[in-house]
């Protein structure tokens, strides 16, 4: 820059830094731009591969797999820029450019990860803004000034003081722990589902226990980060625990009942059960209740304790084969041997009836109007219902009976008249 330009800027109180500082700032900007370009290249080159690997090995994880390319791009840039920041004790002007790029890249990584874990947009942007301010101010040496100012804003409750800094810390730690718990549960759940050595009940049990373990670990990590002294809550927590114990007695009972059901494997996802008037297959065993889907598409939520204390019919507990009884009546004038052969054929031709065990026909008894039989057919998919099997067999049998002249009787009554009235009532004509 010419001397005249420098004199003109000096008239307005603008003084440029010395030339070595300007050169250092230019070098820092070149490094920062190179870091951003390198991050963009890494994300474009390896992002799709990382996304496929994540979806295959870890699962979708709330949409995080689709964002792996962007996360890799900003994460690589942040890693390179952090190395550039620590490479040299940059002057303020140079540190400003590097810190600005590093803070933006780190904030974008946090926003993409939190949004991929389905956290609200406002929460992701708050965390990103806090990280940007913290990293940028640390790069230019102003972090201590900001934290000191935030520490001065607050109020005291007893012997403990709550400040703006503690509020920001609580929000940041809580959000990150929530995201970590959600990510850990998704990763563990996907890993357990890929395991071939467990049956569905054992997989669900491992997921429930690991979820509880992750929550407990997150709680103690949060207590440690926030520097909470649990001894100060000893008396209060005793009374609160007693109240919660009475209030959540049913909830805790259902929780342990669900764990016991999974441990003894008496009821598993996919089982066909009957509880009272509810018939259907088990869709999910939750913390509080078991989801049972009926043939009508209705989902019944049955408390876990009910399954522990009430009588439950499990049609697929040790064997998925279920026998269906189909009552049929034929006329006394019919050829019973032919009728029974047709009944057996109708059952054998039904697609859901098993070949082994073979269907059978029993003579159940002699009724008032018909000779009563029972068709005994076996199926191995009770979740598909039994009414449609009974309907299919009876429809086939109807046509077979019609073709072979087998009569399906209807109730008949013989009326015996002992005597007629000799005379009609007074005032009426005789018939």
The predicted-structure confidence for 111-125, as pLDDT tens digits, reads as follows 888 888 888 888 889
Long-range contacts of 244-250 (CB under 8 A, 24+ apart): 250/303, 250/305
pLDDT score of 258: 77
3 state SS for the chain: CCHHHHHHHHHCCCCCCCHHHHHHHHHHHHHHHHHHHHHHHHHHHHHHHHHHHHHHHCCCCCCCHHHHHHHHHHHHHHHHHHHHHHHCCCCHHHHHHHHHHHHHHHHHHHHHHHHHCCCCHHHHHHHHHHHHHHHHHHHCCCHHHHHHHHHHCEEEECCEEEEHHHHHHHHHHHHHHHHHHHHHHHHHHHHHHHCCCCCHHHHHHHHHHHHHHHHHHHHHHHHHHHCCCHHHHHHHHHHHHHHHHHHCHHHHHHHHHHHHHHHHCCCCCCCEEEECCEEEEEEEECCCEEEEECCCCCEEEEEHHHHHHCCCEECCCCCCCEEEEEEEEECCCCCHHHHHHHHHHHHHHCCCCCCCCCCEEEEEEECCCCEEEEEEEEECCHHHCCHHHHHHHHHHHHHHHHHHCCCCCCCCCCCCCCCCCCCCCCCCCCC
pLDDT tens profile 42-51: 888 888 888 8
pLDDT score of 250: 72
Q: Among 146-155, 177-186, 248-257, 369-378, which is the least confidently predicted range?
A: 248-257
% of residues, the chain, pLDDT over 70: 83
Alpha-carbon distance of 97 to 139, in angstroms, equals 9
Alpha-carbon distance of 171 to 107, in angstroms, equals 16
Cα–Cα distances (Å) from 346 to 40, 73, 114, 356, 357, in that order, read 68, 65, 60, 16, 16
Tell me, which fold does domain 254-314 have in CATH? SH3 type barrels. (2.30.30)
pLDDT tens profile 287-321: 778 888 887 778 888 888 888 878 888 877 777 78
Average pLDDT over every residue of 26-40: 86
Residue 233 in this model has a pLDDT that exceeds 70: no
pLDDT score of 398: 93
Q: Please give the distance of CA 76 from its chain centroid, rounded to a whole number.
A: 31
Alpha-carbon distance of 378 to 323, in angstroms, equals 4
pLDDT tens profile 412-424: 667 777 766 554 4
Average pLDDT over every residue of 387-410: 90
Bigger pLDDT: 92 or 45? 45
Q: What CATH class has 322-404?
A: alpha beta
The segment(s) of the chain belonging to CATH 2.30.30.60 are 254-314
The segment(s) of the chain belonging to CATH 3.30.70.100 are 322-404
- At residue 16 the predicted structure's pLDDT band, cuts being 50, 70 and 90, is low
Pick from 165, 174, 102, 94: which is nearest to 132 by CA? 102
pLDDT score of 363: 92
% of residues, the chain, pLDDT over 90: 12
Residue 327 in this model has a pLDDT that exceeds 90: yes
Residue 35 in this model has a pLDDT that exceeds 80: yes
- At residue 6 the predicted structure's pLDDT band, cuts being 50, 70 and 90, is very low
pLDDT score of 430: 46
- At residue 431 the predicted structure's pLDDT band, cuts being 50, 70 and 90, is very low
- At residue 201 the predicted structure's pLDDT band, cuts being 50, 70 and 90, is low
Average pLDDT over every residue of 52-67: 70
Alpha-carbon distance of 400 to 339, in angstroms, equals 9
Average pLDDT over every residue of 159-176: 81
Q: Among 80-94, 250-264, 345-359, which is the least confidently predicted range?
A: 250-264
pLDDT score of 328: 92
Average pLDDT over every residue of 95-114: 87
CA atoms within 13 A on the CB side of 107: 19
Tokens 């047709």 -> residue: 342
> What pTM was computed for the model?
0.56
């Amino acid at each position: 820059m010419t001397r005249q330009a420098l004199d003109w800027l000096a008239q307005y109180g603008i003084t440029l830094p010395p030339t070595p500082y300007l050169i250092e700032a230019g070098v820092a900007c070149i490094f920062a731009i190179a870091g951003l370009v390198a991050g963009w290249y890494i994300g474009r080159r390896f992002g799709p591969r990382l996304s496929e690997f994540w979806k295959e090995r870890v699962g979708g994880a709330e949409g995080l797999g689709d964002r792996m390319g962007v996360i890799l791009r900003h994460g690589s840039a942040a890693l390179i820029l952090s190395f550039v920041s620590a490479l040299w004790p940059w002057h303020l002007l140079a540190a400003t450019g590097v810190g600005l790029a590093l803070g933006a890249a780190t904030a974008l990584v946090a926003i993409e990860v939190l949004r991929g874990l389905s956290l609200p947009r406002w929460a992701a942007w708050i965390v990103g803004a806090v990280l940007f301010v913290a990293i940028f101010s640390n790069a230019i040496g102003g972090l201590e000034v900001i934290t000191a100012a935030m520490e001065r804003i607050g109020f005291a409750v007893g012997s403990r003081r709550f400040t703006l800094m503690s509020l920001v810390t609580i929000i940041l730690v809580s959000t990150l722990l929530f995201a970590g718990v959600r990510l850990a549960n998704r990763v563990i759940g996907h890993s357990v589902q890929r395991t071939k050595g467990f049956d569905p009940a054992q997989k669900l049990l491992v997921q429930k226990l690991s979820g509880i373990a992750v929550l407990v670990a997150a709680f103690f990590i949060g207590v440690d980060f926030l520097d909470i002294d649990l001894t100060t809550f000893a008396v209060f927590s005793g009374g609160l625990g007693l109240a919660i114990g009475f209030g959540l007695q049913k909830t805790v009972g259902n929780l342990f009942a669900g764990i016991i059901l999974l441990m003894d494997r008496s009821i598993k996802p996919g089982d066909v059960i009957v509880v009272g008037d509810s018939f259907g297959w088990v869709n999910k065993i939750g913390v509080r209740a078991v989801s049972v889907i009926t043939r009508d598409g209705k989902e019944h939520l049955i408390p876990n304790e009910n399954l522990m204390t009430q009588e439950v019919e499990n049609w697929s507990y040790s064997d998925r084969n279920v026998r269906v009884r189909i009552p049929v009546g034929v006329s006394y004038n019919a050829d019973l041997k032919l009728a029974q052969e047709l009944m057996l054929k109708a059952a054998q031709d039904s697609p859901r009836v098993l070949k082994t065990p073979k269907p059978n026909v029993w003579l159940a008894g002699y009724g008032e109007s018909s000779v009563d039989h029972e068709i005994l057919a076996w199926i191995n998919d009770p979740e598909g219902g039994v009414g449609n099997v009974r309907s299919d067999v009876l429809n086939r049998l109807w046509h077979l009976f019609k073709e072979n002249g087998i009569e399906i009787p209807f109730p008949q009554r013989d009326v015996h008249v002992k005597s007629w009235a000799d005379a009609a009532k007074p005032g009426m004509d005789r018939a």
